[in-house]
Amino acid sequence: MDKINKKYLTLLSKIYKNVDEVTTEIINLQAILNLPKGTELFMSDIHGEYEAFLQILNNGSGIIKSKIEDIFGNSITAEDRKNLATLIYYPEEKLELEKATNKNMDEYYKIMLYRLIDVARAVSSKYTRSKVRKAMPKSFDYIIDELLHAQNDNEYDKQNYYEQIIDSIIDLHRADKFIIAISALIKRMAIDHLHIIGDIYDRGPGAPVIMDTLMNFHSLDIQWGNHDILWMGAACGNESCIANVVRICSRYDNLSTLEEGYGINIRPLSIFAQETYKDDPCKEFLPKICELSRYSNSDKILMSKIQKAIAVIQFKLEGALIKRHPEYHMNDRLLIDKIDYDKLEIKLMQKTYKLNDNNFPTIDKNDPYKLTKQEMEIVDRLKISFINSEKLHKHVSFLYSKGHMYQKYNDNILYHGCIPLDENGQFEEVEIMGKKVKGKELMDHMENIAYKAFFSDKLSNNQSEVDFMWYLWCGPKSPLFGKDKVATFERYFIDDKSTHVEIKNPYYSYLDDEKVCDMILSNFGIISKDGHIINGHVPVKAKDGESPIRGNGKLIVIDGGFAKSYQKSTGLAGYTLTYNSNGLVLAANEPFESRNKAILDGLDIKSQTILKQYVKDRRRVRDTDIGKNLQAQINDLKLLLNAYLDGDLK
């Protein structure tokens, strides 16, 4: 035995102190390898829609409802099955409703406790008893463990024992808390690992709620989306990112995320907007998808003014950043210096367009990118708010700890946007901070820069990395963005929709090319014939006949319009993908009405299965990344066992 191995095995012997302990652990790990793999759930482009997101987490993307159907079938009514599912999803709320109308709660408790135990037993059956026990709420772990393993005890005395446990739970007024605890266990065991394929933020109102939920989830990874990186850049102090965040929140009637969610003070901006654009109706800046009926006309106008004020500030900040970084090759985005302020028109690509707005009180046509004194004060105050928001930094730190540009997991490669390709379908080489990179190397290099932007000591002069966060949001070679430009200015100020077009990276024209998909999978080290690319970012327009399944089944796009703002164009409300021991199942979801409807009427998210890609041989833990790690541990333990048996270690 060499010195390095002996040193390592000596450390390992501190944990497993003798032959019995080593052999017990080897037997345990080898048994785990033969269990069915746990269920993975993939979600993408949530965009702040927290009610629909929580409903899918609660129902395990239909897994729990399916288990209820399998267990009870026609032995109980459809209404009873629906009520049982709702009780599992929302136990506190459902119990309160039941107690308001049910005069015989003891009978209700008894029935529901037995049914919940049956469901818990079914969803936990493919996991070790140890893993299930660890997942149980501590206050009831012993009792739940006893009840889950009651099915093999047919003796009369044992049956009385289990019935007495149920009766005692009810008699001691612990039924509510027990139901809440076992419902939490059911939801916990339904999803073994969660993948978020980007874009938690923007559009919907609940990104902070979603982030709090993810921070308490037992096992997950996150692939950054361009909207996530925008908020991450804002937390780093990137002024252009901050302006974009505030503008998007104002555009989607979502300022509550800033003010109530993260304590960002926008009052100075509001006052500035009112004073600067007091006689301007700002009709091109009305907020999107908000319930306009709940606002007075003056409120709508104020929201429009805020949006216009921050948009103009954004264009100025972005112009200065582009000029600082000619290597971004984004001079085509320098637009406000191309405006003829006398004729109120702009020349783009040798063509002149009339502007639909004639009021630019803060733009100096001789120095259009210069911020006014008031605008500088607004930017400074916003920057201080973003940098000092404790909750925002807690959430962004979590995005860094669990997030990546991509994730390789169980022979699948997960990323939000694209892998930049050239017109010939080959990896496009991009020069980033003096380094020419492409494919996987490009993703790794950009991730490294993003980490430095947030974690580097500000005294180390990391301004280039902080600036680059904005490029990741909207740069033409950013894998998270995947388009030649973001046409924000054109959408606001030019009516001609031909100027609004954002040309996608050639990657998107090769999605149906199986060879290109194989090239990407190989570049990331995936050689399995069962490997897939799981992609988000660009909503699939199902109503126009687009399919989420591309490249002969090698690539699956799971952005189907989770955000309400996309649902008119997609015709549905997002896809969810599950991957269990039998294979992949892709479901298309219909729009979710509301949490209140789900609780009061038992309404669940309706979904339609559009892909079942089952494997011939059921996948076991040994076939997963976790299984490979466990096998490595077994190999090490066998070395330790031999060292004990040979006398090399005592």
The DSSP annotation for 36-96 comes to BPPPEEEE---TT-HHHHHHHHHHGGGHHHHHHHHHHTTSS-HHHHHHHHHHHHSHHHHHH
**pLDDT tens digits for 584-620?**
999 988 888 888 988 988 888 888 888 888 888 889 9
Number of helices (H) and strands (E) in the chain: give both, helices first: 27, 17
Residue showing tokens 């970012």: 537
- How far is the C-alpha of 562 from the C-alpha of 207, rounded, in Å? 13
CA atoms within 13 A of residue 193's CA, in its CB half-sphere: 15
**Rama region for 282: left / alpha / beta (φ>0; ψ in -120 to 50; rest):** left
User: For the chain, which ranges sit under pLDDT 70?
Assistant: 1, 150-158, 289-295, 457-460
Structure token pair of residue 253? 């009637």
Per-residue pLDDT at 179: 96
Residue 6, pLDDT score: 84
Residue whose tokens read 């009520």: 83
Angle at 242 between CA 237 and CA 244, to 5 degrees: 150
In angstroms, rounded to a whole number, what is the distance separating the alpha carbons of residues 214 and 399? 10
CB 534 within 8 A of CB 414: yes
| pLDDT number for residue 610 | 82
pLDDT of residue 603: 83
Three-state secondary-structure class, residue 330: coil
Cβ contacts of residue 259 below 8 Å, gap of 6+? Answer: 265, 266
DSSP string across 515-549: HHHHHHHHHTT---TT-EEEE-SS---GGGT--SE
CA distances from 206 to 49, 69, 190, 261 (A): 6, 32, 24, 8
CA-based max dimension of the chain: 94
